[in-house]
Amino acid sequence: MKLVIIGTGYVGLVTGACFAEMGSTVTCVDIDKTKIENLKNGILPIYEPGLENLVSQNYKEGTLKFSTSLEQAAENSSIFFIAVGTPPGEDGSADLQYVLQVARQIGRNINNYSVIVDKSTVPVGTADKVKSTIRQELSNRGVNIEFDVVSNPEFLKEGAAVNDFLKPDRIIIGVDSKRAADQMKRLYAPFSRNREKIISMNVRDAEMTKYAANSMLATKISFMNEISNICERLGVDVENVRKGIGSDSRIGYSFIYPGCGYGGSCFPKDVKALIKTSQDQGFIPELLNAVEKRNNLQKQVLSDKIIKKFGQDLSKKTFCMWGLSFKPGTDDMRESSSEVILKKLLESGAMVKAFDPVAMDQAQKEFPEKWFSDGRLKLADNLYQAIENTDGLILVTEWKTFRQPDFKLMADTMKQKIIFDGRNQYDPGEVKEAGFEYHGIGREDV
């Protein structure tokens, strides 16, 4: 099958590469000429394990193409995936301007029956707006071309997106016509050979399913972070509580790890958008409001612990930060806890040396230039260089490379042997035995 994917960001690039891997001929379209040229030369705009090889291999084989022209790409295709960004507005609502811009372009360029697929995460009712926009463009052209708009939300975990796409738990297809449903089932047939994974529903149900899924996962995280705060005040180790409740099959172990808050491009944005959608319908989403509030507060827990330990004036203190991305396996720093913590420490006069296995270049772009120019934030070449002559280690992202550090080497190079563990990666007893003071999440200080 011949597809057009509009947007070569995280979702679009993974979608295009994986469909090409399964035999479809895919053209990824983007208005950013530099990005398209880079992709042709094997330079990806994001870090995602396994994606670079997938893109390179399928581009060489001709099953994956890149273009800046939707008009040319549309000539031989009848399925169009919209995979552009939907950034949050100031009021928390999803900004649909890019989605509707693409819809207008599609309306100007299709010449036969087409299926237009909303792959971007969009609010309930977006498919109706896309359909109306395309109809208007067709009317302007004076043509009557049949088309269907489908909702096919993505459920990709950053750091495991390629595997998630190639081996999905489920494939949600929101569709209003049998013709479009048959096209989508044929397209996804290679991904569900061992069992039926397609769940069909109407379009609005599919749009809501994506928001409900991400909000549910965010709720589990915020709930466990709430419990961690209670545990800490009661002298209870939240890690034992986590194991105890996770063993209940009704609860499970996924997404109940206490930490310093969730981030990324999905959970924060989608929770905000669902809150705004609810408010627009005259409903106050008390639980979702609490989920968001707890997460915002949780991102301040580590800096609060540091200030409690050292006082408000940190002008004579230097800290090491391990991990800058919002989670391991990605260089994505959107809504990351690291930025919130850094901002508070730097405002309090501290100096910080930071290291992340893959997000260093992204940090240089994302963080304010002033943080670097005044010398208060420095990016180290490796984890042990970052920790030299520091007053404390702050673990923010639980990369594998941080799991079993050389505590002896750390003790020999740090000014003060103190660890602020934002992901409860270390055993407090082991850390204490190595001569360190330990501050975790939902645990007594040792």
* Tokens read off for 22: 């399964």
Q: What gap in Å lies between CA 218 and CA 289, rounded to an integer?
A: 11
Cβ contact 150:173 at 8 Å: yes
Catalytic residue from among 28, 231, 266, 320? 266
Cβ contact 438:445 at 8 Å: yes
Q: CA separation (Å) from 250 to 217, 220, 255, 293, 344?
A: 14, 13, 13, 26, 39
Helix (H, G, I), strand (E, B) or coil at 12: helix
Q: What gap in Å lies between CA 83 and CA 411, rounded to an integer?
A: 48
Neighbour-count burial for 116-140, b at 16+ CB within 10 Å, e otherwise: bbbbbbbbbebbebbbebbeebbee
Strand ranges inside 176-253, DSSP E: 198-201
Q: Which residue from 345, 359, 434, 445 is spatially nearest to 391, judged by alpha carbons?
A: 345
Q: What gap in Å lies between CA 385 and CA 188, rounded to an integer?
A: 48
- Give Cα 436 to chain centroid, integer Å: 33
| 320 among known catalytic residues | no
The DSSP string of 19-88 is HHHTT-EEEEE-S-HHHHHHHHTT--SS--TTHHHHHHHHHHHTSEEEES-HHHHGGG--EEEE-----B
Residues tagged active-site: 266
